Structure 1
Amino acid sequence: MMMISWIFLVIGLHAQPAYNQCLKDQQSLLLAFKNDLVYDPSSQIAKWNPSVDCCDWGGITCDKEGHVTGLDLSSQNVYGSINDSSSLFGLEFLQSLNLAYNDFDSLLGFSKLTQRLTYLNLSNAYSEGQLPVDFSLITSLVTLDLSLAARNVYMVYLDHLENLVQNLTELRHLYLDYINILAHNNWAGVISSSLPNLQVLSLTSCGLRGSLDSSLGNLKHLSVILLDGNNFSSGIPESLADLQNLTVLSLPGCDLTGLLPSKIFQVPTLKTIDLSGNEMLQGALPDSVGALELENLDLSGCGFSGPIPDSMQTLTSLRYLDLSANRFTGPIPSFQLSKNHLVWVNFYQNNLTGGIPSSHWEGFDTLEYLNLASNYLTGRFPESFLTLKSLRELHLSNNSFSGNINDPSNVSSYYKLNTMDLSSNKFEGPIPGFIFKLAALSTLKLSSNKFTGRVDLHMFGRLKELQALDLSYNNLTVSVDRSESASASLSQISTLKLASCYMQHFPDLNLDLSYNQLSGEIPNWIWEVF
């Protein structure tokens, strides 16, 4: 009895259909498509071999019956044209098509694509001309990406946005970055009325003008808004606060004006807010910002004022914070609860005051960039800055920090620091010895302080990566070792500023301009130096 069961089992196994075995008509269509194109010999399409099951070809996905459901030839250096007669349009079961980052002369006939298609990505697959609108006839689309790279901005244009989106009621993701939308009147109304299920809207640098319309607040599923670099010249509509699924609001460089609605900071799902580069956008940060789970906040280059709310101390997931070039006042709150995530902090050019308690910056192991320059900060140099083991850039210039900078004994954690700018403060005493152990340092600016003592210029030769050094306008006496070996140690420095350093000898520096393509007259300053 067991033998009979085993026989039936074997027969049953051999009777199973061969899933993913490519159907002959599918293979023929793919090979015909290949023959219409020009491609790099190293690309996936070049390796399509008729003797191999087409479901195993690179970039091909099949269903159980052997129909091609996915075609991905992105970034494969494919050239040529796709027109009405392309065999591509015979793939009736195609659900996903990705031809991004290639270089097609024309993209025509896409209205013939199957109504099963839900994903179409042609981003950076073409570079100029008028954008066809027959994509609007593929009514099954969920994702449509026709965006360009920034270098091709406005080289492709779209006459009427409505003609492209009017039938795409199932669309959830729309990317048209750097396409010049000519008829931009009521673009927001067109989007909100035509795409009720939209979740991601990306129209970066599309030449949009006029007001940022409140009708966007009607798109209840919208989670990502990317409208960077347009020219709205209007305020931010309060209706955006009605988008309770919104995670990303990105409107940098959009000529926005007026007061920022405080309700924006009450959308509980927000992870990223970028309103940078809108000089006429004003307002204050409300306390409600601390209730969000923000990861990225960029308000740089705006007109915000008032204190930085203490509630920001509760932003435990914050990674990127840029409030530079505003008019914020008062002290800098502690961000201790963010210390496990913060990578970038920039408070440059505000009206911030007070000292920096050293305890506020302890344990920030992920912090790479810290800029507190051009404020009214006072007190001593926070020693905790020298424990930030991932820190690459430290900017404290143009403040009123004062006193000696202590010289800690252990500098093993400072090796990543490549830029330190302490210029235009009131620091005193000798240049701390730890500076000469910062092996990765490429830029060091200590000018316009009250540093004292004698320093041998060629001690900076220990810093093998140092390219820019500014010791000007202190009370330092800089001595020069004129030996050949000492001069060689400074050969990597390209910018050296030593004004008012009580020097008695000109440093022996080398200028090597060999093997270049210089032309024209020799500048006069060369004869003055040599």
Structure 2
Amino acid sequence: MKAPDSKVVAMLVSPRCQLFHCRISESLTKGKNCRQFEDKWWYLRLVCDNITGHVIELRLGNLHNPSDDTAFPGKPFERSRLSGKVVSLLGLKHLRYLDLSGNNFGGRIPGFLGSLHKLRYLNLSNAGFEGWIPAQLGNLTNLQYLDLHDTLSDHLYAENLQWLTNLTKLKLLDLSGITLSKASDWFEVTNALPSLTVLCLSDCDLDPFPPLKTVNFSSLGTLDLSHNTFSNSIFSWIFTLTSLISLDPRHNSFWGHFPDSLRNMTSLTYLSLSSNQFNSSIPGWLYGLNHLQYLNLGSNNLQGTISEDVRNLTSVVSLIFSNNDLEGAALRSLANLCSLTTLALSGVRLSQDISQVLESLSGCLSDRLEFLFLVNCLLSGHLSNELGLFRNLCDLYLAKNSISGPIPDSLRTLASLREVDISENQFNGSLPEWLGQLKELEVLWIGKNMLEGAVSEVHFSNLTRLRLLQASGNHGLSLRVSPGWIPPFQLGVIALSSWNLGPRFPHWLRSQKDFLFLDISVAGIIDTIPDWFWNLSSQFFYMNLSHNQIQGNVAEILNTNPPAGYASSIDLSSNFLQGSLPCLPSNVGTINLSNNSFSGSMSPLLCCKMEEPKSLGTLRLADNYLSGPIPDCWMSWPSIFSMDLKNNNLSGSLPSSMGSLTFLQSLHLRKNNLSGALPPSLQNCSSLLALDLSENEFEGSIPSWIGEKLLKIMIVSLRSNNFQGDIPHELCALSSLTILDLAHNNLSGKIPECFNNFSAMTMSYPEKSLTELLIFQA
């Protein structure tokens, strides 16, 4: 793609002309109009005045949603983000509409945007900016729409919002995700905006609520205060906003009885009180708010039943009661809600046969329902052909019940199905071949059932949209496809644990280049791991190949670049892998290479890329042939909380840098050739709960600091070493100690009498005597 002659934008593009890097350059100040923009791509992103030709709208927003990167393989959002630096837009003096959302520009929001005085619409949401919000935005006195929300990071903040007071024409304000904990004037300022109809302050770190004065939100129709830390009862001033049509205070810590004053808000069409701590029954008057189209009461502590009065919610389209302490629901009344498209009753104790539930819901609702969630509802029986009545069903979630029998043929008639979750039930029989005809299917969860038999290419023949396949935990399924099979899908989640995929390494995986999650553990693979496997995907956050008989070497560097907010987990344990350890990337959170045949030093794993900040929390290298000293690189791994290096050939003394692991909770070094005295720096590991140094050659006296500094410790095993001298009395201070094993050392002197006070031992193991738990000599 050729950049326009005016050089408004300097860009790099992929071979598919997919824009992935852009720098808005200083030449934008030239004031060029649309007649000089010849490139078609840019013409579609620009809107011009029909008479003057001046640019009045610039639309550079990302067309993908951030959630697309976890929902779909290939990171469509990330790959479509513009990046670089916004230098100047001052030449576009007639600009009314500016959308830079969903990009990755970096740096602060440019203050010069405040000079675009004709702007009415400004959208900088999720655009990668950071730092404080410039007060110059307060000069945009014609602004009606201002969206600065940032759900991808917490890098934007404001210490006050006084600059907003000039924006008297503002109708929509979205500051969600921006830290406002120091902006104590947020309520005073927003309350004074006379034209405001939409106010979104989700996830702004707001609490406590400022002192109430006068409420002026006379025009407000939508209020979103979700994902904050408000903990008192819902503010009484909210209930005075009787013209409010949308109220969203979910994900706070509101508690107590259901707010009775809500009964006066008869104009509400959207109400979400989910993820709070309301603990009363559902009041009858709630069902009288018959303008409600969306009602979400999920994830509270609501009790009682869903009464027959629910039939009065005649306008409701989405109804969510999931994850409360509710028991029973008037299903036939729900079936009369002819506008309902989403019904979520997960966690409601229905205690019925699934066929009875479907029959009860099959009134006019069966023609409309698109999303049905009945997870963990104590359902039993067979999934029968009543399911076929719900012919517009898109999402069906029946997980965590006791539904049994085969997968019914009626499922094949639901041509609109996109997501199906029947996992953690008792379905048996084979996987039907007609599954491959569900062309719209994107998500399939069938794990932890009793399905068996061969699965062939036919089962996936037309599943071109499939992006998640979770079928782990069915111990009788075997994949039987031709060696050259190329699946019609690109999966982001591949979970086939306990399938029979072997004996050869699954060659079809070579086509799955963008997976985020891969689990082919316990899969009967007896083969050498191919070199191409390590180059398939670098964006995964979970990879599990454990408990096979996979041979070969691991790539020198385990490349991984998981989605933002994730640290990768890699489990290659219980295989026949060999050779040197790989270099561990900084963004790995868990690595398990135990029970293989790795040899040589630990240094290649731990002492590479030391300049990068590390995320590792769990390190498992047990049962290998590692040798040499434990490397002195631990200052680079401050997040480690669990380490297991037992049953290797490690030698030498413990490095002093291990004392920098202040979050370490468990340390297992049993059965090596380690020697020397315990380094005093180890006392800095004050979070330790379990310390196992048994079957080594440690020497010297047992340090008194174990009892003085490791006060949380529950398990201490120093068995079969060369410790000598007295048992320190300081160990008596370990009030949480449940196991103490000092057998097979060269200890002398008396056992401290205070050991009789180890009450945690007898409480944890009441069937054993204290002498069985205190092991001094075998």
TM-score higher than 0.5? yes
Q: Which moved more, 1:411-420 or 1:390-399?
A: 411-420
Change in 2 beyond 3 A, CA 1:355/1:78: closer
CA distance in 1, matches of 2:635, 2:776: 28
CA distance in 2, matches of 1:221, 1:448: 54
CA distance in 2, matches of 1:298, 1:96: 34
Pairs within 5 Å for 1:227-266: 227-266=422-461
1:211 corresponds, among 406, 417, 438, to 406
CA distance in 2, matches of 1:443, 1:337: 29
1:117 corresponds, among 303, 309, 316, to 316
Q: Deviation per CA, 1:98-132, whole angstroms, max 9, x where unpaired?
A: 23234142321246325433222222344224654
CA distance in 2, matches of 1:106, 1:130: 6
Q: Deviation per CA, 1:260-306, whole angstroms, max 9, x where unpaired?
A: 24334441101111111112222347654654221111112334323
CA distance in 2, matches of 1:59, 1:377: 52
What SS does the corresponding residue of 2:239 show, helix, strand or coil? coil
1:274 corresponds to which residue? Answer: 470
CA distance in 2, matches of 1:82, 1:469: 50
Pairs within 5 Å for 1:415-454: 415-435=614-634, 437-452=636-651, 454=652
1:139 corresponds to which residue? Answer: 338
Change in 2 beyond 3 A, CA 1:110/1:119: farther
User: Is the 1:44–1:58 Cα contact (8 Å) retained in structure 2?
Assistant: no
CA distance in 2, matches of 1:500, 1:493: 20
Whether 1:96 aligns to 2:294 is: yes
Pairs within 5 Å for 1:310-459: 310-333=507-530, 334-335=532-533, 338-358=536-556, 361-362=558-559, 364=561, 368-382=568-582, 385-386=583-584, 388-406=585-603, 408=607, 410-413=609-612, 415-435=614-634, 437-452=636-651, 454-456=652-654
Change in 2 beyond 3 A, CA 1:306/1:46: farther
Structure 1 residue identity aligned to 2:489: L
CA distance in 2, matches of 1:82, 1:392: 43
2:243 corresponds to which residue? Answer: 54
User: Is the 2:371–2:393 Cα contact (8 Å) retained in structure 1?
Assistant: yes
Change in 2 beyond 3 A, CA 1:246/1:234: same
Change in 2 beyond 3 A, CA 1:106/1:462: closer
2:492 corresponds to which residue? Answer: 295
Whether 1:199 aligns to 2:394 is: yes
Change in 2 beyond 3 A, CA 1:335/1:343: farther
1:5 corresponds to which residue? Answer: none
What is the CA-CA distance between 1:370 and the residue it aligns to? Answer: 0.8
1:503 corresponds, among 692, 698, 713, to 698
CA distance in 2, matches of 1:354, 1:81: 60
How large is the Cα RMSD of the aligned pairs?
3.3
Change in 2 beyond 3 A, CA 1:57/1:335: same
CA distance in 2, matches of 1:365, 1:336: 15
User: Is the 1:79–1:105 Cα contact (8 Å) retained in structure 2?
Assistant: no
User: Is the 1:165–1:191 Cα contact (8 Å) retained in structure 2?
Assistant: no
Change in 2 beyond 3 A, CA 1:110/1:304: farther
1:69 corresponds, among 249, 269, 274, to 269
Change in 2 beyond 3 A, CA 1:488/1:309: closer
Structure 2 residue identity aligned to 1:140: S
What is the CA-CA distance between 1:74 and the residue it aligns to? Answer: 3.0
Structure 1 residue identity aligned to 2:244: C
Change in 2 beyond 3 A, CA 1:446/1:226: same
CA distance in 2, matches of 1:74, 1:397: 42
Determine what percentage of the aligned residue pairs are the same residue: 23
What is the CA-CA distance between 1:471 and the residue it aligns to? Answer: 2.7
TM-score (norm 2): 0.55
Change in 2 beyond 3 A, CA 1:393/1:363: closer
User: Is the 1:131–1:156 Cα contact (8 Å) retained in structure 2?
Assistant: no
Structure 1 residue identity aligned to 2:545: F
Change in 2 beyond 3 A, CA 1:402/1:137: same
What is the CA-CA distance between 1:347 and the residue it aligns to? Answer: 0.7
CA distance in 2, matches of 1:165, 1:295: 34
User: Is the 2:359–2:386 Cα contact (8 Å) retained in structure 1?
Assistant: no
2:660 corresponds to which residue? Answer: 462
Q: Which moved more, 1:277-286 or 1:138-147?
A: 277-286
What SS does the corresponding residue of 1:270 show, helix, strand or coil? coil
What SS does the corresponding residue of 2:619 show, helix, strand or coil? strand
2:263 corresponds to which residue? Answer: none
What SS does the corresponding residue of 2:431 show, helix, strand or coil? coil
CA distance in 1, matches of 2:243, 2:291: 15
Structure 1 residue identity aligned to 2:551: T
CA distance in 2, matches of 1:528, 1:458: 28
Q: Which runs of 5+ in 2 are unaligned?
A: 1-194, 198-229, 250-265, 708-730, 738-758
Change in 2 beyond 3 A, CA 1:82/1:53: closer
User: Is the 2:632–2:655 Cα contact (8 Å) retained in structure 1?
Assistant: no
User: Is the 1:339–1:363 Cα contact (8 Å) retained in structure 2?
Assistant: yes
User: Is the 2:516–2:562 Cα contact (8 Å) retained in structure 1?
Assistant: no
* Aligned pairs, number: 470
Structure 2 residue identity aligned to 1:156: L
User: Is the 2:453–2:476 Cα contact (8 Å) retained in structure 1?
Assistant: yes
What is the CA-CA distance between 1:416 and the residue it aligns to? Answer: 1.6
Q: Deviation per CA, 1:33-89, whole angstroms, max 9, x where unpaired?
A: xxxxxxx99454855535x433267359xxxxx954333333454455558xx4444
Structure 2 residue identity aligned to 1:210: G
Change in 2 beyond 3 A, CA 1:431/1:202: same
Change in 2 beyond 3 A, CA 1:507/1:460: farther
TM-score (norm 1): 0.78
What is the CA-CA distance between 1:319 and the residue it aligns to? Answer: 0.5
Q: Which moved more, 1:240-249 or 1:256-265?
A: 256-265
CA distance in 2, matches of 1:515, 1:473: 25
What SS does the corresponding residue of 1:54 show, helix, strand or coil? coil
2:306 corresponds to which residue? Answer: 107
Whether 1:480 aligns to 2:669 is: no
User: Is the 1:236–1:261 Cα contact (8 Å) retained in structure 2?
Assistant: no
1:305 corresponds, among 499, 502, 505, to 502
2:379 corresponds to which residue? Answer: 181
